Structure 1
Amino acid sequence: MGALLRRREIRKVTSSWHGPLTYCAAAMAVVALVCGLGLVVDGRTLMGQSVWLKPAKFAVSFGMYAITLAWMIAQAGRWRRTLWWLGTVAVAGFVTPEIAAIAFQAARGVPSHFNFSTGLDATVFMIMGGAAYLGWLMTFAMGVFLVAQRRVDRAMAWAVPLGLVISLAGMSVGYLMTAPTPDQAAGLARGLSLTTIGAHSVGAPDGGAGMAVTGWETGSGDLRVAHFVGLHALQVIPLVAIGLRLAARRFPVLSGAATRTVLVIVAAFGYAGLTGLVLWQARRGQALLDPDALTLQAALGLGGLVAACAVLTLAVSARRVSARRVAAPVSGSRAAHGSAA
């Protein structure tokens, strides 16, 4: 009986979620599973990795994007119809053509990004570029309407816009990859017809030794790191707000809405700093796992600043909680004396 009630409650909650985005997330889960099967049964590789690894990763990322926005729209009290249309356009004009193009090129066994080998390849990449622009615009527009919502939870009221802003910045890193590399620019200036224009690597050609699963370059800078980190602020920052709210049930120091709000802002600052740090590192041609002394110093400085802000916030909150505990018995004692009198 309890399980049935829980299922009904879940169905009641999710029924208010944005339908197309929710179905899109479910479809991306199916695509990821199919691509996972391709990883096992199809031995073809591209740049040292299975041709199905990229569509599998994009399917997971798009699924997270879709379900997060579906949940955010469900929380909206105003402009629901406008948000519904914006979310629907994002599904139809961004996610669908992007994943379709990536899977299509994977099935052909050719690169989906920066590929100008043939007219078909160039057209596919241009479609992907147009879809990405549309996706950025739709996400920005949804962000505008989501930010303007009234929310009871102050921490979440800050988490949503901050997560969206950092996520949009992370999406924008993708456009840096489409610019010709210095060698490619020189070739174009000489009138050469190039098969590849753009790159995710800095300091070496794409396709070098890469990390497991992510494929991020281990011998050069990789812009995909900042792209990934920034993009998923959309999930991380709201999850921080949710985590703090749940933790507040056990830890009185987190009971104050102001404390949780400040901690969300600190977390967003740190996450934005991390995104900027890995972008700066990649732009200087450094692999994520091979930072130089300057990068390490910057990372330590950022981590120290974030930790100091968090500790200071918790210390102030702890003093307030302690002061309230001391004041409570005094107030109770005065009330008792008043009754006796």
Structure 2
Amino acid sequence: MTYFIALLKARNEYLFYFGMLSLLSAVIMFAVSKFSNVQISGVNAWYKPSKFALSIGIFSLTMGWYTGYLFYKYIHIYNWAMIIFLGFEVFYISLQASRGQLSHYNISSTLYASLTVVMAISAIAATLYTGYIGILFCTGNFAEFPDYYLWAIRFGIFLFVIFALEGTIIGANGSHRVGGAGGSAIPFLNWSLQYGDLRIAHFIGMHALQVLPLVAFYVLKDIRLVISAGIMYGLLACFCLVLALNARSLFSF
């Protein structure tokens, strides 16, 4: 484990430290949630920032690993873009949680509406820049590792981009739920058990970034199987999206 952590740090030191700081923040905020009774929309206020920090931490460490394969002289610009854009997201969501106020969907004042727009722009910019990193994996020479692993990284990045941009659908809907508010939900994740929930497809699609390369490298080890798995994984995320848009819960079957 010590060797792996040292290797992860060596591959991209900036994203390593940012990722580790995000994970530490997630742990601290989850611990705070156990001592805080503050709620936002019926859910502990600290759940949301802890989930965002956890997700951003995993994303940063993952992209830190992948960018270690690239010969991209402007990688420092990508690193700082991720730190600034995603760091702002976690900071603002955490600040609002500490004040017991909404971060997303908050249009109660001009300031909050403006900050919501800034969050959206930050998320889209980080996503599109990551898409460019995916293009580099399609145009570069990667003879040092197997084709099936390379294809898994490509699929992982592009599915991440597609379903990260699904966040615009959530924003346009004004809520992550479709068909109703309230009702029973999965603890911590807060995914609805009764109504459509757009976050499920968002989550599944974005984490193709980790799932597909890991499965390809350790299990499938065949380019045709990896391509098939990538297509099936994308269809699964699309199925969850269509289900949510039709106000149906994935857990209602």
TM-score when normalising by structure 1:
0.70
Aligned AA (1:202): V
Question: Which residue matches 1:223?
Answer: 198
210, 232, 247: which one pairs with 1:235? 210
Q: CA RMSD in A?
A: 1.7
**C-alpha distance in 1 between matches for 2:227 and 2:216:** 10
Alpha-carbon contact 1:18-1:84 (below 8 Å) kept: no
Aligned AA (1:58): F
Matches within 5 A, 1:175-254: 175-180=168-173, 198-205=174-181, 207-244=182-219
Question: Which residue matches 2:228?
Answer: 266
Aligned AA (2:10): S
Deviations 1:97-116 (A, max 9, x none): 11111101101101111111
**C-alpha distance in 2 between matches for 1:39 and 1:166:** 32
Q: Quote the sequence identity (%).
A: 28
Deviations 1:26-49 (A, max 9, x none): 111111111112111111112221
Alpha-carbon contact 1:86-1:141 (below 8 Å) kept: no
**C-alpha distance in 2 between matches for 1:165 and 1:136:** 10
9, 13, 20: which one pairs with 1:19? 13
The alpha-carbon deviation at position 272 of structure 1 amounts to: 0.4
Q: 1:32 to 1:279 in 2, by over 3 A?
A: same
**C-alpha distance in 1 between matches for 2:49 and 2:252:** 27
**C-alpha distance in 2 between matches for 1:276 and 1:39:** 33
TM-score when normalising by structure 2:
0.93
**C-alpha distance in 1 between matches for 2:97 and 2:114:** 15
Question: Which residue matches 2:24?
Answer: 30
The alpha-carbon deviation at position 139 of structure 1 amounts to: 0.9
Aligned AA (2:200): V
The alpha-carbon deviation at position 221 of structure 1 amounts to: 0.4
Aligned AA (1:116): I
The alpha-carbon deviation at position 16 of structure 1 amounts to: 2.8
Question: Which residue matches 1:46?
Answer: 40
**C-alpha distance in 1 between matches for 2:239 and 2:5:** 41
For the residue of structure 1 that corresponds to 2:79, the secondary structure is helix
Question: Which residue matches 1:69?
Answer: 63
Any stretches of 5+ residues in structure 2 without a counterpart? none
**C-alpha distance in 1 between matches for 2:57 and 2:140:** 24
Alpha-carbon contact 2:9-2:16 (below 8 Å) kept: no
**C-alpha distance in 2 between matches for 1:132 and 1:221:** 23
For the residue of structure 2 that corresponds to 1:178, the secondary structure is helix
Matches within 5 A, 1:91-106: 91-92=83-84, 94-106=85-97
Question: Which residue matches 1:119?
Answer: 110
Matches within 5 A, 1:270-289: 270-289=232-251
Q: 1:37 to 1:144 in 2, by over 3 A?
A: same
67, 79, 100: which one pairs with 1:87? 79
Alpha-carbon contact 1:87-1:142 (below 8 Å) kept: no
**C-alpha distance in 2 between matches for 1:232 and 1:142:** 16
149, 158, 162: which one pairs with 2:151? 158
- Bigger radius of gyration among the two: 1
Aligned AA (2:185): G
Aligned AA (1:156): Y
Any stretches of 5+ residues in structure 1 without a counterpart? 1-5, 181-197, 245-253, 292-341
Aligned AA (1:91): I
Question: Which residue matches 1:60?
Answer: 54
